[in-house]
Amino acid sequence: MPGSDFAFWGIIPVIRLQKFLADAGLVSRRTGEQLIVEGRVTVNGHVVRELGTKVDPVHDQVALDGKPAKPRRKVYIALNKTRGLVCSHNDELKRPTIYDLLPAEWAHLHSVGRLDFNSEGLLFLTNDGDFSLHLTHPRYGIQKRYIVTVDGKVDAAMLSLFTAGLYLKGEKLKAEKARVIGEGGGETIVEMVLAEGKNREVRRLFESQSRTVTRLVRVQIGKIKLAELKPGKWRSLTESEIKSLLT
């Protein structure tokens, strides 16, 4: 895994301060850089604003906003999210969360992107900020594949509109690929591939054409497929899977 092979195997070298903050699972590396410049990070009790500063994760004492920051073993989890769960740690409506499916010691993990309350399928959780950034930032173009069940008929013209892209309230929504894979009973099943994953993007595309999504399942992220992972179950990503997502 680029930039973190030593940490993965337990050998921790001297590293840049912003990488230390990301490895601690606190922020992404880019956000860490901003916090350093703002003077919110100290090393051995001294404020550090220089982005080139390197630290020894074992012996140096790093703090963010006065709170000690410690490097954590990086964890990468694939979860098959079920319908009726939110992806946040705490929900103001007291609805169940994805963390109800995980061991208590993983409560510090954050989801890489989100699936909304009624959506299902593949979701990653981690404490690696750089990993999250790579999978969610549009510049990396990590593709996600969905199987979508829609009320009513979906024709080729509608799907062509989706792949060309359309603007809703000033925001461009776009599918990389879209094709009908099943029809019947007043419903259409569509396979869609997206590269950005904006908030409720699939649902909003269909809503723009007066269609309602009745089921949405994410079945693949990058090269990683949902495969045999059963609803509500999780597994650790392998080292080769992690590398495939970062290359």
DSSP-derived secondary structure for 34-53: HHHHTT-EEETTEE---TT-
**How remote is the C-alpha of 99 from its chain's centroid?**
15
- How far from 108 is each of 3, 22, 48, CA to CA, in Å? 22, 14, 26
Amino acid at 166: L
| Architecture in CATH of 143-221 | 2-Layer Sandwich (3.30)
**What pLDDT shows up at residue 7?**
38
Please report where in the chains the tokens 């994410």 appear, as a residue: 218
Amino acid at 40: R
Q: What number does CATH give the domain 76-138+224-246?
A: 3.30.70.580
Q: Which residues contact 44 (CB under 8 A, 6 or more apart)?
A: 60, 61
Active site residue 116: yes
What interhelical angle do 239-246 and 129-136 show, nearest 10? 50
- C-beta of residue 128 within 8 angstroms of C-beta of residue 25: yes
Query: What is the location of CATH 3.10.290.10 in the chain?
Result: 5-69
The region, left, alpha or beta by phi > 0 then psi within -120 to 50, assigned to residue 165 is left
Distance CA 219, CA 241 (A): 15
Q: Which residues contact 38 (CB under 8 A, 6 or more apart)?
A: none
Catalytic member of 91, 116, 151, 155: 116
**How remote is the C-alpha of 204 from its chain's centroid?**
19
Distance CA 2, CA 247 (A): 8
Token readout for 170 is 């000033």
Amino acid at 54: K
**What pLDDT shows up at residue 90?**
83
**What pLDDT shows up at residue 13?**
65
The region, left, alpha or beta by phi > 0 then psi within -120 to 50, assigned to residue 188 is beta
**Angle, alpha carbons 123-129-133 (nearest 5°):** 70
- C-beta of residue 20 within 8 angstroms of C-beta of residue 55: yes
Query: What is the location of CATH 3.30.2350.10 in the chain?
Result: 143-221
How many residues in the chain?
247
Q: What number does CATH give the domain 5-69?
A: 3.10.290.10
How does pLDDT run along the chain (247 residues), one tens digit per residue?
Answer: 333 333 333 444 688 999 899 878 788 888 999 999 999 999 999 999 999 899 988 789 999 999 999 877 889 999 999 999 999 888 889 999 999 999 998 888 999 999 999 999 999 999 888 899 899 988 899 999 999 999 999 999 999 999 999 999 999 999 999 999 999 999 999 999 999 878 999 999 999 999 999 999 999 999 999 999 999 999 999 999 999 999 8
